[in-house]
């Protein structure tokens, strides 16, 4: 950006910050016919009347370095630690405090020819389409339409993705529940088996007597009765025999 305008025989480099025209303390003092220190002292004595972001901006650090390069035509010293840029309202405050004819005349010139400069720019200069040109207007409309369609597509895609994730989660939850149910049923069956079967050791513990296991195995083999294995803390697993027959055979053995 190298735009320079002339106000009352004074060349003024155009500086824009946050979408508005701003001016440095040095250029403001030059136009108002005042010393730079006078501008700064007026600001310090009346700082409560100035609001940062409304009347002025204070730039420093990396942002200041970028500004110096961007507006090299403004000849901002690279040695300054911070830079104060005055907005239209800030410049008006200084004109009121100086209260000189030159300050007011130059402020009015700034108001008409500098601070309103952005408003006077054409759409093309502002980076906007020239809607007076039918071809350019059609291109701009097509691009806008394409953007709207893209946004709609991305929105619909997000909705579909969310629905798919929800379905997967539901299916996973149902599958997990099915596994839990199956395991529960297995456990219930095992518990049921344990109530229908007994080990020789269990009968011995109840009666306080010792019994041989071979008659149990023979009886089950002769009558085609299944023998199950159940967990045991000492042996890992042991045979469990049908309870009615286990008790009966054990008692028979006891009688003998």
- Name the phi and psi angles at 228, rounded to 5: -110, 160
Q: Whole-model pTM?
A: 0.47
Same domain, 26 and 87: yes
Same domain as 62, residue 49: yes
Contact by Cβ (8 Å): 114, 23 = yes
Whether 64 and 105 share a structural domain: yes
Q: Does residue 180 share a domain with residue 104?
A: no
Find the DSSP H helices in the chain. Answer: 25-32, 36-45, 61-70, 88-98, 101-113, 117-120, 134-196, 200-207, 214-222, 243-255
**105-113 long-range contacts, CB within 8 A, separation 24+:** 105/8, 106/7, 106/8, 106/31, 106/32, 106/33, 107/32, 109/7, 109/8, 109/31, 110/7, 110/23, 110/31, 113/5, 113/7
Q: Which CATH number belongs to the domain containing residue 80 in this structure? A: 3.10.260
In degrees and rounded to multiples of 5, residue 190 shows phi and psi of -65, -40
Q: Which of 59, 91, 120 is the last residue of a domain?
A: 120
Print burial letters for 98-131: b (CB count within 10 Å at least 16), e (below 16): beeeebeebbeebeeebbebeeeeeeeeeeebee
Instruction: Give yes or no: residues 74 and 145 share one domain.
Output: no
pLDDT (tens digit, 0 to 9) for every residue of the chain, 256 residues total?
Answer: 568 888 887 788 899 998 899 999 999 999 999 999 999 999 999 999 999 999 999 999 999 888 888 888 777 877 788 999 999 999 999 999 999 999 999 999 999 888 887 555 544 544 556 655 666 666 766 777 777 677 777 777 878 877 778 777 777 767 666 776 676 555 444 444 455 677 777 767 767 767 676 777 787 788 777 777 877 777 778 787 676 655 565 555 544 4
Q: Are residues 26 and 93 in the same domain?
A: yes
In which domain, by residue range, is 116 found? Answer: 4-120
User: Which of 170, 194, 218 is the last residue in one of the domains?
Assistant: 194
What pLDDT is attached to residue 222?
83
Q: Are residues 20 and 95 in the same domain?
A: yes
14/115 same-domain check: yes
| Dist CA 111 CA 120 (whole Å) | 12
Domain end among 71, 91, 120:
120
CA distance 80 to 102: 28
Identify whether residues 10 and 109 lie together within a single domain.
yes
Q: Is the same domain home to 38 and 80? A: yes
Question: Do 10 and 110 belong to one domain?
Answer: yes
- Sequence-separated (6 or more) residues with CB below 8 Å from residue 56: 43, 50, 84, 85, 86, 87, 90
Within 10 angstroms of residue 167's Cβ, the number of other Cβ atoms is: 10
Q: How many domains does the chain have?
A: 3
pLDDT of 136: 66
């Amino acid at each position: 950006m190298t735009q320079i305008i002339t106000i009352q025989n004074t060349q003024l480099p155009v500086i824009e910050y946050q979408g508005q025209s701003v001016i440095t303390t040095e250029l403001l003092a030059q136009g108002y016919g005042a010393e730079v220190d006078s501008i700064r002292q007026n600001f310090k004595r009346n700082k409560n009347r100035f609001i940062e972001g409304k009347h002025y901006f204070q730039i420093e650090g990396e942002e200041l370095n970028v500004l110096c390069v961007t507006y090299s035509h403004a000849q901002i010293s690279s040695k300054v630690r911070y830079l104060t840029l005055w907005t239209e309202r800030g410049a008006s405050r200084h004109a009121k405090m100086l209260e000189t004819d030159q300050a007011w005349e130059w402020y009015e010139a700034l108001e008409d020819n500098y601070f309103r400069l952005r408003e006077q720019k054409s759409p093309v200069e502002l980076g906007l389409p020239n809607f007076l040109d039918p071809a350019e207007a059609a291109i701009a409309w097509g691009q806008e339409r394409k953007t709207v369609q893209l946004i709609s597509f991305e929105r619909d895609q997000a909705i579909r993705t969310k629905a798919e994730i929800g379905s997967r989660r539901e299916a996973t939850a149902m599958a997990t529940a099915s596994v839990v149910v199956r395991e529960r049923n297995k456990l219930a069956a095992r518990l049921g088996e344990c109530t229908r079967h007994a080990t020789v050791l269990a009968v011995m513990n109840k009666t306080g007597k010792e019994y041989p296991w071979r008659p149990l195995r023979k009886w089950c083999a002769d009558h085609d009765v299944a023998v199950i294995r159940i967990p045991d803390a000492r042996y890992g697993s042991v045979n469990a025999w049908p309870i009615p027959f286990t008790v009966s055979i054990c008692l028979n053995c006891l009688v003998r």
